[in-house]
Structure 1
């Protein structure tokens, strides 16, 4: 007699209802055929044996081909052990499928042990590691948890742990090819942990967070990297040019995220887009072997016999790459460094990712976001749900100048999701205490910090904003003794960026164009305004 138990709906909810009808052999074949075809795989030589619940088929994509022995059991249904559990039953003698169950699943012939759950017109495939059932008793049951089925209904992929600590995978049929090529790893590594269940000693199920047989889900193989609790996750360093914002981040990144796998860096610019930041389809060359030699574009150089064709492949951006890494390695902390945040239209670059920036007190994103289809496919390919929140172990650190030419304003809604950290003008001047700058008109060198202070104090008196003043690292030490660098970098910045509309606020001379000032400097003439003192001159340098 049918009993009411927990069921997974097409939208990923869990309700009380009767088990859905079992699929026929024809329906099971259709699921296999449609699932592989959806990802561009060709299916040939499909034949089924209803008595053995076995479908033998060959699948191929590009240069990859497999012979599959697919045991598809239609009886995925309520297991009396628990209302949130389903099972299939291996009722035939083990000797009948011994050869298939003992295939290594690393070669061109493989064995899949599957169950199918079809409800509200939507199908989820459950997959067990057949090798884990070697020499099974008759009958023997394979269990899966309903929350994992619901995950797969909602997000495309789910996992659960059975009573013997074995990982069970659940997924929508279009991930059959992904499962086929990664099945060993998927049965050995926790990728989706919110609904993992195992059996406790007293027989009652209990949730576990992130482990299989006591092993962490982390896949990097390196020790975890703890980070100071006071450091914010969404963080923007701002201040005048040359104050050492990037240097400060570099020091902290080296301290907390030193391994290459733990950090990525990107620089925003006016043409930077959402597709570059998150990901987009891009043309990629593929090659077809021809029968005659080809010539390169110059019509002379031999290009061999491989004819280039253009295909399109999804290229993940730095945000999506690091998000996947963080979700799959919860024991490690990761940071994405964004230089010059406001040189691009930042809210447009972030797109719907903007919503992820809201975090709770634990650092996790408050709201889930579903990205575009191609990004969802990329997440599925890594066994991750398509509805994602920003994990607490992913840090976003950025730098910006607020008054440079070409920067774009940040709206209030975007800004309030970040912690702003002001880098004071002279915060790191002790690093440059020994630096000297050569001045033609003095015939020698003066301390760089003394020169900066004279320029900055003079400009402050003319109400020039602090974010246009000179920070300690505005020039590199080797540039300070180079007359060309002095003119082409420092003098040009002061003339055209700081006092563009009133050059007499800083300079003297009959003509205050940049060209006239550069010529006067070359002649050794004093070009700065009267009354400015640059300290003692060292003639020896």
Structure 2
């Protein structure tokens, strides 16, 4: 017998893994309660102690009693013969109570719960036929659950024709309840229309195919790389570089750009898009529609522009690209990143039903006109990356290979960086220049402690606003208090907690033995900096500093 079962992924794929763990009763009930009460809907328990549970809900403008049996779904009992099956079993007498609820004007449900990678999916069966004795087994399909993870809502019909099961995220519970009669009887191929997304159905509307041709090769010319990652140490001006290049790319055009910042919880549904509940204009009613992510928004603008005789550039800027799990975020879009010599995706992918309908809505025509998609040559994807940051995720070689990497050196573009300030008091007072001090600290980190270059500080580690000088002729920093505060809160903090964390006692050795200062506390190092300035870095540091000015 197989020791592994199929599991659902957030991007709609499935994979084999160890058998799932059954959720605790309170976990199951919490998920169900959150689903029924989503968006402020009324939900009051009648029986929470034992199965079947009962509660009062308000749906379709009336109070209803909902009776339900809930259990974590598990891989079916036939992993070798029907490997994608998921199921739950309930006693026959409990099934009959649910049937009674459905035939008496209330709602009776068998609810399965599937949870993986922080996402909960509810699988719902609406029983209408009683059974005498024994246990009742209800089946679902793991691919349907994966589709629900990716898109929000999915259906599955038993091969025997004996009913339809629905799977959905918690926020789709009200959508399911409002349309339960339809969803329980048949697969709804265009179910988005039910909630007013205004997606037309084939056979009811004549499409104008003359206006919906996608042009991936627009002929747009540019010296900039289409897929581009700028990387380097913190403060080297990665974001600034892309902003300046963005201005050059857009100069004299009607192009657009959008910026997004990745983070550890960022997912495919954020990046490309997914179905979400939204409120109807001017009402409290909820409808569900495909909400595009930044990739899809820029993609649509690029396709629209490609239809004109004068195509324009459209740019997606991604900050901190490796703070998210990029393979999962990009999903099938990953395949589109291979570009030919003209800048068009070498390979196409099949668009999901949701994406096809969204493209048809935005660009016109039939959803089937958008079955296969590529990235056009007028769409650019640029990103920044710092591999030394805490909390970043590694990129695999296959993903890296599809990008043009550009490295910004530790002292690149530092010629215009000026700014002098007096630090320390009494015998420790010294007028220093920020850029020279930065280089001296980097020198000490690299030479004495072998800290890698990507952990050092670039010339823009402190912003231009903080090192603004009085005038062209006078290099004195305008606001010394702000500079000192920023030096303590940004530079010393970064060194103490990150770049030199293992060597902080040695790096800040100058604090020891002066008054009651020590390297044991960050606050003590900051207090010492107020008193002794750059001498917190110990004996010999002034020589390193002077050397940088030669």
Q: TM-score range by the shorter chain?
A: 0.5 to 0.7
Aligned to 1:308, the other structure's residue is in SS state: coil
| Pairing partner for 1:347 from 302, 320, 327 | 327
| Pairing partner for 2:394 from 406, 409, 419 | 409
Tell me by how many angstroms 1:440 deviates. 3.0
Contact 1:191 1:328 in 2 (8 A): no
Hey, what does 1:467 align to over in structure 2?
454
Q: Distance in 2 between matches of 1:263 and 1:424?
A: 26
Contact 1:370 1:387 in 2 (8 A): yes
C-alpha change, 1:447 and 1:271, in structure 2 (3 Å) is same
Hey, what does 2:225 align to over in structure 1?
232
Tell me by how many angstroms 1:438 deviates. 4.9
Hey, what does 1:514 align to over in structure 2?
522
Q: Higher mean Cα deviation, 370-379 or 461-470?
A: 370-379
Q: What pairs up with 1:390-401 in 2 under 5 angstroms?
A: 390-401=375-386
C-alpha change, 1:270 and 1:435, in structure 2 (3 Å) is same
Are residues 1:322 and 2:293 paired?
no
Q: Distance in 1 between matches of 2:244 and 2:294?
A: 21
| Pairing partner for 1:191 from 204, 212, 215 | 212
Q: What pairs up with 1:294-313 in 2 under 5 angstroms?
A: 308-313=284-289
Q: Distance in 1 between matches of 2:383 and 2:205?
A: 35
Aligned to 1:477, the other structure's residue is in SS state: coil
Q: Distance in 2 between matches of 1:435 and 1:179?
A: 67
For residues 445-483 of structure 1, what are the alpha-carbon distances to aligned partners after superposition, in whole Å with 9 as ceiling and x for unaligned?
Answer: 421111111111111102100011110111013435322
Hey, what does 1:280 align to over in structure 2?
274
**Structure 1: gaps spanning 5 or more residues:** 1-171, 195-208, 211-217, 219-223, 288-305, 537-541
Are residues 1:443 and 2:429 paired?
yes
Aligned to 2:280, the other structure's residue is in SS state: strand
Aligned to 1:243, the other structure's residue is in SS state: coil
Aligned to 2:383, the other structure's residue is in SS state: strand
C-alpha change, 1:438 and 1:267, in structure 2 (3 Å) is farther
Q: Distance in 1 between matches of 2:268 and 2:230?
A: 22
Are residues 1:253 and 2:253 paired?
no
Contact 1:335 1:396 in 2 (8 A): yes
C-alpha change, 1:278 and 1:426, in structure 2 (3 Å) is same
Contact 2:227 2:404 in 1 (8 A): yes
Contact 1:364 1:392 in 2 (8 A): yes
Tell me by how many angstroms 1:392 deviates. 1.5
C-alpha change, 1:458 and 1:327, in structure 2 (3 Å) is same
Aligned-pair RMSD on alpha carbons? 2.9
Number of matched pairs? 314
Q: Distance in 2 between matches of 1:475 and 1:243?
A: 10
TM-score normalized by the length of structure 2: 0.53
Q: Distance in 1 between matches of 2:388 and 2:254?
A: 32
Aligned to 2:312, the other structure's residue is in SS state: coil
TM-score normalized by the length of structure 1: 0.54
C-alpha change, 1:477 and 1:389, in structure 2 (3 Å) is closer
Contact 1:479 1:486 in 2 (8 A): no
Bigger helix share: 2
Q: Distance in 2 between matches of 1:359 and 1:377?
A: 25
Hey, what does 2:347 align to over in structure 1?
367
Hey, what does 1:477 align to over in structure 2?
464
Aligned to 1:348, the other structure's residue is in SS state: helix
Hey, what does 1:201 align to over in structure 2?
none
Are residues 1:262 and 2:263 paired?
no
Q: Distance in 2 between matches of 1:237 and 1:407?
A: 16
* Higher Cα Rg, which structure: 1
Hey, what does 1:135 align to over in structure 2?
none
Aligned to 2:213, the other structure's residue is in SS state: coil
Q: Distance in 2 between matches of 1:466 and 1:178?
A: 61
For residues 230-266 of structure 1, what are the alpha-carbon distances to aligned partners after superposition, in whole Å with 9 as ceiling and x for unaligned?
Answer: x221111000011011111111100112467421111
**Structure 2: gaps spanning 5 or more residues:** 1-198, 468-479, 513-517
Hey, what does 1:243 align to over in structure 2?
236
Contact 1:435 1:477 in 2 (8 A): no
Contact 1:459 1:505 in 2 (8 A): no
Contact 1:359 1:365 in 2 (8 A): yes
Q: Distance in 1 between matches of 2:529 and 2:204?
A: 69
